[in-house]
């Protein structure tokens, strides 16, 4: 296991006494798992065909859950996840009333599931939004420029009008409160919860 540890963690471990090491081994594993979370989420948007590129985002509206697939656009240093959407979409409406959301990622080859319970923040900073907008390829911009709002009735799939002069693009930052990591493996499955208390991540192994 130690071969794969980041140098800093390995150095810390090397300097510890035996008694401390037992405790530290657990800590090191926890840190290593949190780093795995970070790496997999970064791979999700930076590596082609990584299964975390698409994930399920659940919101709540009047006590009713609603899920949809979205694209993972970026991971920020505090583990916040960035997504893009249309300002007129139902999820914006849901989040405006209740910012508590849940995001589910699944890696079928690794049998790895991440569940992130987060507080969603709709980004309103026009400079930031414009920055994201400029990096969206021209042919993908049409997702945000329909004349009618997403979810409106139409008589035929081809009957969608676009107005390139007006876009409804926005971005949402999902600020994690807890991250739950579950990996099915032999001999023991591995489940751990990371909780953000504002300054640091606290971890707790759980019965899978």
Ligand X SMILES: Cc1cc2nc3c(=O)[nH]c(=O)nc-3n(C[C@H](O)[C@H](O)[C@H](O)COP(=O)(O)O)c2cc1C
- Interface residues toward ligand X, by CB under 6 A: 54, 66, 68-71, 83-85, 89-91, 150-151
How far apart are CB 24 and ligand X at their closest, in Å?
A: 40
In the bound state with ligand X, the residue whose beta carbon lies nearer, of 86 and 183, is: 86
In the bound state with ligand X, the residue whose beta carbon lies nearer, of 35 and 143, is: 143
In the bound state with ligand X, the residue whose beta carbon lies nearer, of 36 and 56, is: 56
In the bound state with ligand X, the residue whose beta carbon lies nearer, of 38 and 53, is: 53
How far apart are CB 95 and ligand X at their closest, in Å?
A: 9
In the bound state with ligand X, the residue whose beta carbon lies nearer, of 34 and 71, is: 71
How far apart are CB 110 and ligand X at their closest, in Å?
A: 20
How far apart are CB 78 and ligand X at their closest, in Å?
A: 21
How far apart are CB 56 and ligand X at their closest, in Å?
A: 9
- SS3 (DSSP) at 25: helix
């Amino acid at each position: 296991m130690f071969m794969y540890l980041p140098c800093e963690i390995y150095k810390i471990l090397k300097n510890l006494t035996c008694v401390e090491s037992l405790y530290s081994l657990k800590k090191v594993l926890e840190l290593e798992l949190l780093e795995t979370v970070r790496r997999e989420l970064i791979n999700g948007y930076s590596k082609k065909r990584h299964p975390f590129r698409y994930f399920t985002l659940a919101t709540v509206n009047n006590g009713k859950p609603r899920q949809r697939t979205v694209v993972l656009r970026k991971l920020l240093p505090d583990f916040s996840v960035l997504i893009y959407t249309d300002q007129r979409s139902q999820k914006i409406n849901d989040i405006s009333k209740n910012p508590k959301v849940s995001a589910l990622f699944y890696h079928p080859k690794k049998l790895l599931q991440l569940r992130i319970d987060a507080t969603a923040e709709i980004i309103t900073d026009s400079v930031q939004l414009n920055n994201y907008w400029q990096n969206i390829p021209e042919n993908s911009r049409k997702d945000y420029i329909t004349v009618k709002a997403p979810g409106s009735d139409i008589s035929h799939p081809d009957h969608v009008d676009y107005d390139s002069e007006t876009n409804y693009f926005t971005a949402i930052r999902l600020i994690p409160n807890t991250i739950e990591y579950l990996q099915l493996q032999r001999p023991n499955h591995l489940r751990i919860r990371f909780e953000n208390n504002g300054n640091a991540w606290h971890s707790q192994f759980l019965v899978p």
